[in-house]
Structure 1
Amino acid sequence: MDSKLTAYIRLLAAWPGVASRPDRALVEDSLVLLPHLDGVRSLIDVGSGGGMPGLPLALARPDLAVTLLEAEHNKAAFLIHCVATLEVVNVRVVSERAETVAHTSLRESFEVAACRALAALPVLAELCLPFVRIGGRLLALKSGPEPDGGAVGLLGGGPVTVLPAASAARSGGVILAVSKLRPTPDSFPRRPGLPNRRPLHARGGGEDGA
């Protein structure tokens, strides 16, 4: 795994615009999720960007089926290139917006949805939780605790748990963990762009439609 991780870092450095800091510390930051994936067999990385956290996790866990979801075509092309170059057989790349893909057959089909530096909690919850099956979890890598997880309940999630997850890249890093307790209402996520423009609150937020 380590040799492929090194090769992945080299690919990041050679492809402009996919990572602001293509160094080992940044890449290994993704691996703080590993202790939270015991028994997990399927994971979607929402807003994968340069492949983190999904690709390092796939390299560390060849038995884990990983979907990298990335809407920007340049970054998606890089991910496809990485998967082919590194000969990673347990990864697929989907180049589309989360708001669209979450209303396809991929809805509520993953044990874990993961993301790194994606958005504030109300936004990332709307983009990620629709992909998680009942009994699964959302795991979001963040630089520190975030207040107000009230909107998570609208999406079928339970209470937000803040788990310490320091790394060389994020000394105060945490994982925001949310269990999926109920199906996400069909109206979520809303139409593309709306989750970011009008983040959900604890009450209301769905009146704008999908």
Structure 2
Amino acid sequence: MILIAKHYFKGLSKENGLTTSKVRAFSSKLYKTIEDKSIDNIFNICEQLLDEHKWELGVIAYDWAYRVRNQYNNDTFFVFESWLKKYVTGWGDCDDFCTHAFGELLSQNNELFKYVIIWTNHPSFFVRRAAAVILIYPIKKDKYHGINPYIISDMLMKDEHHLVLKGYGWMLKVLSQVEKDKVYEYLLKNKNIMPRVAFRYALEKVDEETRRRLMMS
């Protein structure tokens, strides 16, 4: 599988037109050729793909990890967490992984949130960003009833990295679509201490009247 994928993408890159959608289209076709689709086998192949440290192979790995979501178990979180810390090196990988496979896992088991909170103190910015971005999937699916998203934004409130600020701002933006009043009160309470980049992201989906009140109050 690894050799097939490497051969297919030889000479291709983002710089010469390779897109995520094209990679995922190939990923779907290649996945169908795998006979053993057990979670252990798929995760083993995923790790081999990730070990190549190539963007396009990472996209395939995270896609396949999501495809076996019906087989997630008690050990899956720690496998995914190890991938996050070992292989993710930027916001693109972080978002791809956390808004699909890792987010799905959290939506299946909200009790895992206690481990996510710890990420807010991690030295790597993409792990701290992941603490917020991983909540987006459960929030959208309305499967976050054992999770308090505001704990994450509180912990990351004045983070030193702008991509972390944008990450929790994005999470609050999504949350504003399902908890409009609570997010309004939260933003009103914290508007004087929340960095502007996070505040602006959080406001993107609120209605014009609410935005005006928050900006003027």
Structure possessing the higher radius of gyration over alpha carbons: 2
Q: Which one scores higher on RCO, CA 8 angstroms, separation ≥ 6?
A: 1
> TM-score normalized by structure 2?
0.29
> TM-score normalized by structure 1?
0.30
Relative to total residues, which structure has the larger helix share, 1 or 2?
Answer: 2
Relative to total residues, which structure has the larger strand share, 1 or 2?
Answer: 1
